Amino acid sequence: MQESESKHQFIELAIRFGALKFGEFTLKSGRVSPYFFNAGVFSTGEAMATLGACYAQAALPMLDNLDGLFGPAYKGIPLATAAGIALQRDHGKDLAITFDRKEPKTHGEGGILLGAPLAGDILILDDVITAGTAIRHSVDLIREHGANPVGVVIGLDRCERGVGEQSAVEEVQATLGLTVTSVINMHDIIDWLGSQSGLEASLEKMNAYREQYGV
Domain positions in the chain: 3-213
Q: In the predicted model, is pLDDT for residue 213 greater than 60?
A: yes
pLDDT in tens, 30-75: 889 999 999 989 999 999 999 999 999 999 999 988 999 999 998 9
| pLDDT, mean of residues 168-194 | 94
- 137 among known catalytic residues: no
Catalytic residue among 107, 145, 187, 205: 107
| pLDDT, mean of residues 146-165 | 92
Q: In the predicted model, is pLDDT for residue 177 greater than 70?
A: yes
CA angle 70, 118, 45 (to 5 degrees): 35
- Mean of the per-residue pLDDT values of the chain: 92
Quote the CA–CA distance of 115 and 128 in Å, as a whole number: 23
Catalytic residue among 93, 105, 137, 187: 105
pLDDT score at 133? 83
**Residue of 98, 83, 169, 161 whose CA lies nearest to 134:** 169
**Sign of the alpha-carbon torsion through 47, 48, 51, 56:** negative
- Reported as a pLDDT band with limits 50, 70 and 90, residue 105 is low
- 91 among known catalytic residues: no
- Reported as a pLDDT band with limits 50, 70 and 90, residue 132 is confident
Quote the CA–CA distance of 143 and 159 in Å, as a whole number: 28
- Reported as a pLDDT band with limits 50, 70 and 90, residue 94 is very high
Give the start-end residues of each E strand in 5-131: 20-26, 32-37, 68-71, 96-105, 111-115, 121-128
pLDDT score at 110? 58
Q: Quick check: 176 and 150 in contact, CB under 8 A?
A: no
Counts for the chain of helices (H) and strands (E), in that order: 7, 8
CA angle 3, 67, 2 (to 5 degrees): 10
DSSP 118: P
Q: Quick check: 68 and 116 in contact, CB under 8 A?
A: yes
Q: pTM, whole model, 2 decimals?
A: 0.92
pLDDT score at 106? 59
Show the DSSP H helices in 30-75 as ranges: 45-59
**Residue of 88, 90, 98 whose CA lies nearest to 119:** 98
Q: Quick check: 186 and 130 in contact, CB under 8 A?
A: no
Q: Is 1 exposed, middle or buried (0-12, 13-18, 19+ CB in 10 A)?
A: middle
| pLDDT, mean of residues 146-157 | 96
The domain made up of 3-213 has a fold known as Rossmann fold (3.40.50)
User: What are the beta bridge partners of residue 156?
Assistant: 128, 184
User: What are the beta bridge partners of residue 139?
Assistant: none
Q: In the predicted model, is pLDDT for residue 108 greater than 70?
A: no
